[in-house]
Amino acid sequence: MADPIRDDTAFNQSPPFIDVNLFTSDQTLREAVAREGAEWAAVDLEVFGGVTGSAAAIELGRCANVHPPELQAFDAQGQRIDRVAFHPAYHEVMAISMAQGLHCSTWEHLLTGGAPKPGAYAARAAGFYMAAQMEPGHCCPITMTHASVAALRHAPALAAEWLPKILSRAYDPEAVTAETKTGVTLGMGMTERQGGTDVRANTTRAERLDDETYAITGHKWFLSAPMSDAFLVLAQAKDGLSCFLLPRLRPDGALNGLRLVRLKDKLGNRSNASSEVEFENAQGFRVGEEGRGVPTIIDMVTLTRLDCAVSSAGLMRQALARAIHHARHRSVFQRLLIDQPLMAQVLADMALDAEAATALSFRLARAFDGGADEDEIAYRRLMTPVTKYWVCKTAPSLVYEAMECLGGNGYVEEGGFPLLYREVPVNAIWEGSGNVMCLDVLRVLERAPETLRRMLDEIDALGGHEPRLKAALDRIETLLAEAMRDQSVARTLVEQLALAQAGALLLAHAPAAVSDAFLATRLQGTWRSTYGAGAAGLDARAILDRAAPQVA
Ligand SMILES: Cc1cc2nc3c(=O)[nH]c(=O)nc-3n(C[C@H](O)[C@H](O)[C@H](O)COP(=O)(O)OP(=O)(O)OC[C@H]3O[C@@H](n4cnc5c(N)ncnc54)[C@H](O)[C@@H]3O)c2cc1C
């Protein structure tokens, strides 16, 4: 008989959710990759899924967060060095993601001179979705480096100088000049104490030294990844707010007038260093025209918004997969949790949101693959803020509910859920918080109303015959008129847009059990304030068979 005190067989505990291939085990992801144009990347993504889901990688992610970065403002002799020291695990996850090209792969044609590779954004999105599950904090420098190229293209000479280093897949954390490095990363500095959304209130000044070069003096209240080799920053020049490339070091290796004041002590995102910084006569190179700082840097911000949605979808997937895994192994009252009707319904209800988040995020990634196609341009303009809003706002409640599915183990650090839970709200806050996304949607609808028409046409083509979708389209038209008069309707409108498009995508591409449950609960009926409420009657078994991690 088992010893009731020293029972080391730990029966009825679910096995650790590790060494699970994050690509092959995720049917929704695999289908999204194929549908949105990146089937060619499947073999490579399968390899990356094995790496990112490995026990070793998950342990790296844990270590990088348990040992957060430390500010080293001075050396032993009291000289300023303004460096940040990271745990080796952080460097390793950076190296894994950069080797995969997540910081650069969509731009590789810029060096070779060919056309963009079809499906490059969708393939990269799949990698990013899995990298976020391995370790979410390092995704910040990865997304900023990738997105920086969109802004840098406004300064062809600077782009020519920096692109070869950005496009290198080698991670080089040495604190030496970019010129001598094998690869570089870039950050972004917009937010000041007095305003992050309202960047026009920036007080940092840029004094012109010659045609392209400026002396930058001021501060940034948030500057993440401060060991980046350069930053795109906003500062006030003579003709108004402008964008500058500010290298961390000068060509002689000295600090470029940059002082790290402190690192933020954050709720989550702990592996990633986010600093407060001061600039004193830092050398900056103008990117784009003077006075056009916001339109220049917005090209970068738009890409990071895509990544916020993609990584939140990844975190939702990871939370859901762990919850289902646990429920498949844990018995309560002689029955596996997954077979308890109420638990099955909760899990299935969460699976619907995870599926919708993935569908929306990968459809958006395809829009970025769409280049100059007018429908895709319209999709990017309207659906980037819509997708970021809905996916990033839905993720925290799903992660919380998934954590609860593990009972007390969900709340304990070793299981990994607290890391996910602390991380997940940040994607809604940075790169344009919720209300800002909604106001952005209103702005697009005012300035380019045809974007909505194109969007509604897409929903109509995917599923206009379906009465619940048709009713949603009618609701959107009514809400649009109201939102144009009354800003406070914006969240309702944006949510409806997200739900209608998600419903249409699921109707066209997901099994009927999924799409029907989604339409019945999200676009009709009494759903919900919590998962599992107002969702009676959905086909939990069919939904969960699809959502369950597919492991041998
Ligand atoms: C971990 C972390 C890392 C970060 N890293 C960086 C970085 O590297 N570089 C960088 O530049 N910034 C960074 N940020 C800053 C981030 O982008 C800002 O915090 C964000 O843009 C919001 O700006 P704010 O904090 O000034 O809030 P505010 O702009 O004051 O906004 C506060 C609230 O008001 C809402 N709001 C704003 N305007 C309106 C309106 N007109 N109507 C209704 N509601 C409105 C917003 O949605 C928000 O909820 C980081 C933030 C975090 C948390």
Beta-strand relationship, 186-189 and 230-237? parallel
Torsion sign across C-alpha atoms 330, 333, 337, 338: positive
Q: Enter the DSSP assignment of 74.
A: E
Shortest-distance atom of ligand 1 to CA 432: 21
Is residue 223 within 8 Å of residue 189, measured between CB atoms?
A: yes
| Cα 283 from Cα 354, distance rounded (Å) | 45
Residue 191 beta carbon below 6 angstroms from any ligand 1 atom: yes
Residue 500 beta carbon below 6 angstroms from any ligand 1 atom: no
Closest protein CA for atom 11 of ligand 1: 190
Q: How many CA atoms lie within 13 A of 225 on its CB side?
A: 24
- The CA-based angle 508-513-514, given to 5 degrees, is 60
Tokens of 323: 């919850």
| Cα 223 from Cα 398, distance rounded (Å) | 29
Host H or E run for residue 73: strand 70-74
Residue 437 beta carbon below 6 angstroms from any ligand 1 atom: no
Q: Is 120 helix (H, G, I), strand (E, B) or coil?
A: helix
String of DSSP letters for 413-472:
GGGSHHHHHHHTTHHHHSSS-HHHHHHHHHHHHHH-THHHHHHHHHHHHHHTTSHHHHHH
Buried b (16+ CB within 10 A) or exposed e, 118-131: ebbbbbbbbbbbbb
Residue 204 beta carbon below 6 angstroms from any ligand 1 atom: no
Backbone angles phi, psi at 96, to 5 degrees: -65, -45
Is residue 165 within 8 Å of residue 184, measured between CB atoms?
A: yes
| Cα 73 from Cα 245, distance rounded (Å) | 23
How high is the pLDDT of residue 538? 86
Backbone angles phi, psi at 124, to 5 degrees: -65, -40
| Cα 143 from Cα 224, distance rounded (Å) | 11
Residue 190 beta carbon below 6 angstroms from any ligand 1 atom: yes
Q: What does pLDDT average to in each consecutive run of 10 residues of the chain (552 residues)?
A: 64 94 98 98 98 98 98 96 98 98 97 93 98 98 98 97 98 97 98 94 97 97 98 98 98 97 98 98 98 97 98 98 98 96 96 98 98 96 98 97 98 96 98 96 96 96 94 94 92 94 98 96 75 76 94 78
Backbone angles phi, psi at 21, to 5 degrees: -65, 115
Q: Enter the DSSP assignment of 81.
A: E
Tokens of 211: 């045609």
Q: Measured in angstroms, how far is the CA atom of residue 349 from the centroid of ligand 1?
A: 31
Tokens of 397: 């409640």
Closest by CA position to 391, among listed 502, 488, 298, 467: 502
Q: Enter the DSSP assignment of 265.
A: -
Residue 249 beta carbon below 6 angstroms from any ligand 1 atom: no
Residue 487 beta carbon below 6 angstroms from any ligand 1 atom: no
Which long-range contacts does 244-247 make (Cβ < 8 Å, 24+ apart)? 244/206, 244/214, 244/216, 244/284, 244/285, 244/286, 244/287, 245/152, 245/155, 245/158, 245/162, 245/284, 245/285, 245/287, 246/189, 246/216, 246/279, 246/282, 246/283, 246/284, 246/285, 247/177, 247/178, 247/283
Q: Measured in angstroms, how far is the CA atom of residue 507 from the centroid of ligand 1?
A: 35
| Cα 498 from Cα 503, distance rounded (Å) | 8
Is residue 534 within 8 Å of residue 527, measured between CB atoms?
A: yes
Quickly tell me which residue has 């390793």 as its tokens: 92
- Which pTM was predicted? 0.97
Alpha carbon separation from 513 to 131, 398, 506, 510, 526 (Å, rounded):
29, 20, 10, 8, 18
How high is the pLDDT of residue 7? 60
Q: How many CB atoms lie within 10 A of CB 488?
A: 10
Q: How many CB atoms lie within 10 A of CB 484?
A: 15
| Cα 213 from Cα 206, distance rounded (Å) | 9
| Burial grade of 374 (CB within 10 A; 0-12, 13-18, 19 or more) | exposed
| Burial grade of 29 (CB within 10 A; 0-12, 13-18, 19 or more) | buried
Residue 412 beta carbon below 6 angstroms from any ligand 1 atom: no
The dihedral over CA atoms of 418, 423, 428, 429, expressed in degrees to the nearest 10, equals 120
- Residue of 266, 277, 427, 435 with the most ligand 1 atoms within 8 Å of its CB, for mutation: 435
Host H or E run for residue 283: strand 274-287
The dihedral over CA atoms of 135, 141, 146, 147, expressed in degrees to the nearest 10, equals 120
Cite the DSSP H helix spans in 330-373: 341-369
How high is the pLDDT of residue 524? 87
Cα 355 from chain centroid? 16
How high is the pLDDT of residue 242? 98
Residue 263 beta carbon below 6 angstroms from any ligand 1 atom: no
Tokens of 381: 């303009």
Tokens of 336: 């596996």
Task: Determine the angle formed by the axes of helices 120-134 and 27-35, rounding to 10 degrees.
Answer: 160
Quickly tell me which residue has 């940034």 as its tokens: 220
Closest protein CA for atom 16 of ligand 1: 430
How high is the pLDDT of residue 77? 97
Residue 196 beta carbon below 6 angstroms from any ligand 1 atom: yes
Q: Measured in angstroms, how far is the CA atom of residue 248 from the centroid of ligand 1?
A: 24
Residue 194 beta carbon below 6 angstroms from any ligand 1 atom: no
